[in-house]
Amino acid sequence: MLVDMKKWTRFAAACSAALLLAACGRSVVVQPNRGATQSRTAVVVPRATAGSYRVLRGDTLYSIAFRHGLDFRDLAAWNGIDAPYTIWPGQVLRLSPGRARRSVAAAPVRARAPVFKPVTPRPSRPTPTPPASAVPAAVAAAPVPSSVPVPKGATRAVSGVTWRWPADGALMKKFQSGDAIPGIELAGSAGDPVRAAADGVVVYSGNGLVGYGELIIIKHNDDFLSAYGHNRKRLVKEGQRVSAGQLIAEMGSTGAPRDELQFQIRRDGNPVDPLDYLPSR
């Protein structure tokens, strides 16, 4: 009888813990405890909340908007984030219109976007920020990551941007709007050059977006972004200005089964067919 009571007590405690975790909106993942073969430890993992996103170290407002298919200006307006778009690790962002957290209109703002500001650790004291139009001298003078001259190639001017092909490989996959990762895929070998498709500023350089591997996102103007995925090595940093044709990465297979470049163009946050913008081959 005593044994049965102990079993019942353990069972009741386990049920209570499970109910408490469920009430807190969290899920439990059981992982092996290091140094033991039988013992297991319960690890509490935050559950993703529909309609919101918790900022991680390395995120930028641009990468979060890109991840969720949003225009970065809308994302900023919905969350009351002013220029220069500073966000913090752990901050929870709204992913749809609603009451802004400050006195900022919830409707999308279409004003000219300021200079890119990456996510940084929260400072202990407020520090003054430079004017949105100011460009740090280090960024303006950022060196080209290769001494090889930018090669000449066919270009095409569309919607105020002059585009060129980001890689020389054959087109393996065309754009389909329903794809989870909508874009085109260009063939190549590990280490082949990946070049900026147009002039712009690097607004993301990292590997935090699942399915893209080592990814670079370039902002060309207030309407257009381009993305370069599956690289072996990234050669540019966030905030760096790049020119059309400039070497920005080495082709690879990170997040892909083969060496290739996954290339996207997004207009106002929406994927568009790159072949409508790139010059004919």
pLDDT digits (tens, 9 = 90+) for 147-196: 445 666 899 999 999 999 999 999 999 999 888 899 999 999 999 999 99
C-alpha distance from residue 85 to each of 14, 30, 31, 133 (Å): 44, 38, 38, 13
* Nearest-10 Cα torsion for 146, 148, 154, 157: 40
Q: Coil, helix or strand for 200?
A: strand
- pTM comes to 0.65
Sorted by sequence, the CB contacts under 8 Å of residue 130 that are 6+ apart come out as: 84, 136
Give per-residue pLDDT as tens, 10-50: 555 544 444 333 333 332 222 333 333 333 333 232 333 45
Smallest CA-to-CA distance from 79 within 91, 67, 89 is with 91
Q: Alpha-carbon distance 279 to 128, whole Å? A: 44
pLDDT digits (tens, 9 = 90+) for 45-95: 233 345 899 999 989 999 999 999 999 999 999 999 987 788 999 999 999
Nearest-angstrom CA–CA distance, 232 and 214: 7
For residue 248, pLDDT beyond 70: yes
If we measure between CA atoms, which residue out of 161, 227, 167 comes closest to residue 198? 161
Q: How far is Cα 201 from Cα 237, in angstroms, rounded to an integer?
A: 9
Residues 6+ apart with CB under 8 A from 193: 167, 168, 247, 250, 251
Given this model, what pLDDT does residue 127 score? 43
**Are 55 and 64 in contact, with CB atoms under 8 Å apart?**
yes
Residue 188's pLDDT is 97
Provide mean pLDDT across the span 132-151.
46
- In this prediction, residue 154 carries a pLDDT of 93
Per-residue confidence band for 6, with pLDDT thresholds at 50, 70 and 90: low
Percent of the chain whose pLDDT exceeds 70: 63
Predicted pLDDT at 126:
46
Q: What is the pLDDT of residue 135?
A: 41
Mean pLDDT (whole number) for 3-12: 53
When pLDDT is cut at 50, 70 and 90, the band that residue 1 belongs to is low
pLDDT over 80 at 212, yes or no: yes
Q: How many residues does the chain have?
A: 281
Question: What local confidence, expressed as pLDDT, does residue 110 receive?
Answer: 37
Are the beta carbons of 259 and 188 closer than 8 angstroms? yes
Residue 244 vs residue 15, higher pLDDT: 244
Phi and psi of 78, rounded to 5°?
-65, -25
Strands 26-32 and 40-46: antiparallel
pLDDT tops 50 at residue 105: no
CA dist., res. 236 & res. 268, Å (int): 24
Spatial separation of the C-alpha atoms in residues 234 and 194, rounded to whole Å:
9
